Amino acid sequence: MIEQLVLGIIQGITEWLPVSSEGLLVLTQTHLFGQKDLSDFISQALFLHLGTFLAALVYFRKEILKLSKNKKLARFLIITTLISGAVGFLFLQLIKGIESQVEITGKAATLLVGLLLLITGGLQIKSKNQGKKTQKQLTTADGVVLGFVQGLAALPGLSRSGSTVAILLLLGFSKTESLKLSFLMSLPIVFLGNLVLNFSYLSAPAFWWGLLASFIFGLLTIRLLLKLAQKINFGKFVIFFGALTIISVLI
């Protein structure tokens, strides 16, 4: 129970920042709780995302209710969900296939997280808050690109919010609009991903503690941390943390 509460708190707080909540969960599970199964890490992290999904559902309820009236946004979310679901599923199967052939050690998982954190930080530093595009200017191409990027974020260490926000900024959307679109994108894929992959977790009472902690801390921190994310470019911090993660494996 303690393990799930700790993981749920980490997920609830870090989901709203452009750092990899999944990567931090993997590092915590590896070094604090001694777990080693990378594919299991990813499945548990996805389940904990269900807590912050519910928190975002409450916070963005007005936007969600408007979806039926905003056809471009609805089409964008459908495209991103289909593509990111396919890409994320393929990556998960690839990881399971590798694990069946080669044991992925805690150090290997940590090194992977560190390298992907460097990529996340680089994307954030490169992106600028100079765009003016809004939801009314969303295109099918935007949905394809963002769906692929969100699918890649199934890899622990590559921040879903950080990478999608960075790409939206590079495509010319404003910082506020990019953050909003990024979190709206997360809702259907997190819900459907858990429905398809993690249905068994719902029957395990221990995992509900993590889900509850993720929801409560997510709801308590979302407003403050989204405002913080709008004002600060976390790129340098993420790169520094990624470098420390890699160094910890090598020494």
Contact at 8 Å (CB) between 216 and 98?
A: no
pTM: 0.76
Q: What is the pLDDT of residue 234?
A: 64
Burial label, 93 (beta-carbon count in 10 A; 0-12, 13-18, 19+): exposed
**Residues of the chain where predicted confidence (pLDDT) is lower than 50:** none
Q: What is the pLDDT of residue 136?
A: 85
Angle at CA of residue 49, ends 192 and 118, nearest 5°: 110
Task: Give how many domains the chain has, as a whole number.
Answer: 1
pLDDT digits (tens, 9 = 90+) for 157-186: 677 877 888 888 888 888 778 888 888 898
Angle at CA of residue 44, ends 210 and 247, nearest 5°: 105
How far is CA 179 from each of CA 37, 99, 126, 210, rounded to the nearest angstrom? 32, 35, 16, 25
Residue-range definition of the domain harbouring residue 60: 2-250
67 φ, ψ (degrees, to nearest 5): -60, -40
Q: Which one-letter DSSP state was computed for residue 251?
A: -
